[in-house]
Amino acid sequence: MASIRIPTPLRAFTHGKDRVEVVGSTVGEALSNLVERHPDLRAHLFNDADLRSFVNIFLGDEDIRFLQGLDTEIASGDSLRIVPSIAGGLG
């Protein structure tokens, strides 16, 4: 099993948990397992099947966009982290 760390604004959708254990051999499978167990998270993480552009997923210290994206392989014991892109302004 791998784990996914949940950022503060999304912990309301994981019953307050800051870390969720998941199954899967890739980042995409792990995230799918996460949203199967916490369906209300889906809208905050995905646009259809794609990761939202305002959501970063880190494997250790690496942004998965600089690895193999959702196809990045993970092993039991790996730690994933959801990191919100905080941005805004006048636009």
Q: Which residues contact other proteins by CB under 8 A?
A: 7-12, 18, 44, 54, 56, 58, 63, 81, 83-91
3-state secondary structure of 48: coil
Nearer to other proteins, 49 or 87 (CB): 87
Phi/psi for 63 (5° steps) reads -70, 125
- Smallest gap from residue 16 Cβ to other proteins (A): 10
- Smallest gap from residue 83 Cβ to other proteins (A): 4
In the numeric block, which tokens belong to residue 84?
């919100």
Nearer to other proteins, 46 or 58 (CB): 58
- Smallest gap from residue 79 Cβ to other proteins (A): 12
In the numeric block, which tokens belong to residue 59?
């494997």
Task: Report how far residue 81's alpha carbon sits from residue 73's, in angstroms, rounded to the nearest whole number.
Answer: 15
Task: Report how far residue 54's alpha carbon sits from residue 85's, in angstroms, rounded to the nearest whole number.
Answer: 5
Nearer to other proteins, 77 or 88 (CB): 88
